[in-house]
Amino acid sequence: MTPAGKVRLLVGKVGLDGHDRGAKIIARALRDAGFEIIYTGLHQTPEVVVATALQEDVDGIGLSILSGAHMTLFPKLLGLLKEKGSSDIVVFGGGIIPDEDSHKLKDAGVRAIFTPGTTTQEVVDWVRQNVVPRRR
Amino acid sequence: MTRDDGKTAVRASARRDWEEKVLAPALKDRPERDVAFTTVSDLPIERIYTPEDLAGRDPSREIGLPGEPPYTRGIHPSMYRGRVWTMRQFAGFGSARDTNERFRYLLDHGQTGLSTAFDLPTLMGRDSDDPLADGEVGREGVAIDTLEDMETLFAGIPLGRVSTSMTINAPAVVFLAMYLAVAEKQGVPFEALEGTIQNDILKEYIAQKEWIYPPVPSMRIITDMIDFCTARVPKWNTISISGYHIREAGSTAVQELAFTLADGLAYVQAGIERGLAVDAFAPRLSFFFNSHIDFFEEIAKLRAARRMWCRFMQDRFGARNPRSWTLRTHVQTAGCSLTAQQPYNNVVRVTVQALAAALGGTQSLHTNSLDETLALPSEESVRIALRTQQIVAEESGVTNTIDPLGGSYFVESLTDRMEEAAHQYIRAIDAMGGMVTAIEQGYPQKEIADAAFRYQRQLDTGEKTLVGVNKYTEGNGPPPPLLRISDEVERDQRDRLQAVRRRRDAGRHRRALHDLVAAARSRDNIVPPVLEAVRAYASVQEICDALRPVFGSYREGKVPL
């Protein structure tokens, strides 16, 4: 049985791009919807994101990438989670990510990719259905 | 009661009569649509504007004529009848060689100025082989590591005959120095160089978020650059004070106007505190605004910006040179207004925005490409974007007369309202002690985040329409062909950088960096030692990192959600 409890999420900005408009809107909408949110701030490495995620014991990680480096940074994050035996943390993301890349990332283990035009409600609904508190 | 007040009273009663006798019965038959009549920034707009909306304002003082203070109608007496705006498409991707080819393509297709986009590692002062640059090299702009790349970027382009804009901020001093060094190699004197370096660090902390050092030392570097250019590169625009990114981060039009001008006031203040005469450097400050989708709001914003800047320069700083009073601006259409869905619709959005920029009296314009929400623009889409502004300039007829909307009850009163609302923000920032302090307190950042969140909510609920996204969504087809940057770009760039490191004169390089640090620790101007360091082929990151122990590194405080 999964213990009932609040879902904890880390919203992260990896890479060098400073476009935090989307990440902050999503973080705020998720917080308003009742999730516990840890926002990393800008310019984080996948290593720091994973370390923070483990330390904060989160159930899901949402990454925002608008720099075009998504094919480098998502796989790196997934690899690090696997190394730490934490592949049960749900990884999702958003940004300017072409469909073709989105398919590849989903095959690699990113559970959802949200592109511009997604409503905050869609993200909230998706998280409700797909992220549950992990067995602790 | 003066005669004028008498006239206004007559007009006001005419309007009341119309409302009672004509409008009211008509509304019974056909009520107004049940929507909020607001701008995209949420400013409420009235049903009709009449002379009474301008009552109490002196048109000769507030509106005036083009080329005369307060420049509401434009900064040049002849405006586009003399020369249309400079068509300046921002370009940069992949290697210096790739971008050099795109530059030549644009010049061959009638573009009249160059504008350089750098990749993210470059914008952050990182070399292509830094671990943080993984996956980012050449993706969002051109990768430049050393003077050698800059020589390639401008190969075959005579720097004495083009004007070049470089969108770079935190490491801007390195890029100014590199441009000067390329000019030296081409035999072009500094005095002949024309162009602009963005160099607006304050909006980085507020919106774009590509920083290296904290605000105070960053302001010192910028002031050094202003000081150097005023004496040695007199035709160079030393800062392009930018509202563009503030708007892209989700601000309202009024916030864009207010925060941009407040940034400008901070730079002027810094120059004056350095001991420079305001009229020696202020003429070389230029601006960069966004042109978003709300047509009249954008036109009013540009008109208000010119009037406000003129008065700040006259009243706050006592500038005497009319060239200090004029707000010269570049405009780019709003990337954030474009949609990934039904991307061809973006051509129409860009047309509306380009028209607004023209009617707002811009000096230069970048029109966005239809595929920019999907990837870097393809050559085809860049051509359509350039053609869009050529059609506006040469077919639409809007360039025939100056400030065609001047005197419009609506546009003039919207201009007044935006000016007032922007003044409220600027007063608040002044009360905090100026923009640097306001930034340290997170004030503009929070205001913008709130506005961005509000707008997103309005899209989510359908209160505001975005065609193809929350309305008229049928027909969302596959994306157009996209430009892709190959992974080889990153590898090749790293190889080139390492080759330069092996080849350069190690002694000269070491001495140059040593002298640079010494200058930074003293009160000497750091531009000359940076110039020597780039001549010695020191890389961007080597130079930026050498200064970190002196200047420190910026970390954003707790981010308000």
Neighbours of B523 (CB within 10 A): 9
Task: Determine the Cα–Cα distance for residues B62 and A75; give it in Å rounded to an integer.
Answer: 58
Q: Give the integer Cα–Cα distance in Å for B416 and B300.
A: 8
Q: Is A107 on the interface with B (CB under 8 A)?
A: no
* A102 within domain boundaries: yes
Q: Is A134 contained in some domain?
A: no
Question: Which residue carries 């905090």 as its tokens?
Answer: B432
A-chain CB neighbours of B340 within 8 Å are 96, 115-117
Whether A1 maps to a domain, the answer reads: no
Q: Which two tokens stand for residue B101?
A: 């080819």
Q: Do the Cβ atoms of B198 and B239 come closer than 8 Å?
A: yes
Q: Which residues of B touch A75 (CB under 8 A)?
A: none
Both tokens of residue A107?
Answer: 């095959």
Domain for residue A2, yes or no? no
Chain A residue closest in CA terms to B483: A98
Domain-located, residue A135: no
- Angle (CA) B204-B210-B212 rounded to 5° is 100
Residue span of the structural domain in which A109 resides: 8-129
pLDDT tens digit at each of 561 positions of chain B: 444 556 667 777 889 999 999 999 999 999 999 999 999 999 999 999 999 999 999 999 999 999 999 999 999 999 999 999 998 888 888 899 999 998 988 888 877 788 899 999 999 999 999 998 988 899 889 999 999 999 999 999 999 989 999 999 999 999 999 999 999 999 999 999 999 999 999 999 999 999 999 999 999 999 999 999 999 999 999 999 999 999 999 999 999 999 999 999 999 999 999 999 999 999 999 999 999 999 999 999 999 999 999 999 999 999 999 999 999 999 999 999 999 899 999 999 999 999 999 999 999 999 999 998 887 788 899 999 999 999 999 999 999 999 999 999 999 999 999 999 999 999 999 999 999 999 999 999 999 999 999 999 999 999 999 999 999 998 877 777 777 777 899 999 999 999 999 999 999 999 999 999 999 999 999 999 999 999 999 999 999 999 999 999 999 877 767
Question: What is the rounded distance in angstroms from the CA atom of residue B464 to the CA atom of residue B294?
Answer: 12
User: Would A17 be classed as within a structural domain?
Assistant: yes
Q: State how far residue B171 is from chain A, nearest Cα, in angstroms.
A: 14
Q: Is residue A19, in this structure, part of any structural domain at all?
A: yes
**E-only strand ranges, chain A:** 8-13, 36-39, 60-65, 90-95, 112-114
Number of inter-chain CB pairs under 8 A, A vs B: 110
CA distance linking residue B360 with residue B291, whole number of Å: 9
Whether the CB of B412 is below 8 Å from some CB of chain A: the reply is: no
- Residue A95, beta-bridge partner list: A65
Q: How many domains does chain A have?
A: 1
Interface test with A, best of B120, B454, B476 (most A CBs within 10 A): B120
Residue by residue, what is the 3-state secondary structure of B335-373? HHHCCCCCCCHHHHHHHHHHHHHHHCCCCEEECCCCCCC
pLDDT digits (tens, 9 = 90+) for A55-64: 999 999 999 9
Q: Which residue, chain included where needed, has tokens 């010192």? A: B220
Q: Which of residues 179-218 of B touch A (CB under 8 A)?
A: 204, 207-210
pLDDT on residue B46: 96
Task: Note the ipTM here.
Answer: 0.89
Residue A103 inside a domain? The answer is yes
CATH code where residue A17 lies: 3.40.50.280
Peptide bond into B70 cis (omega under 30): yes
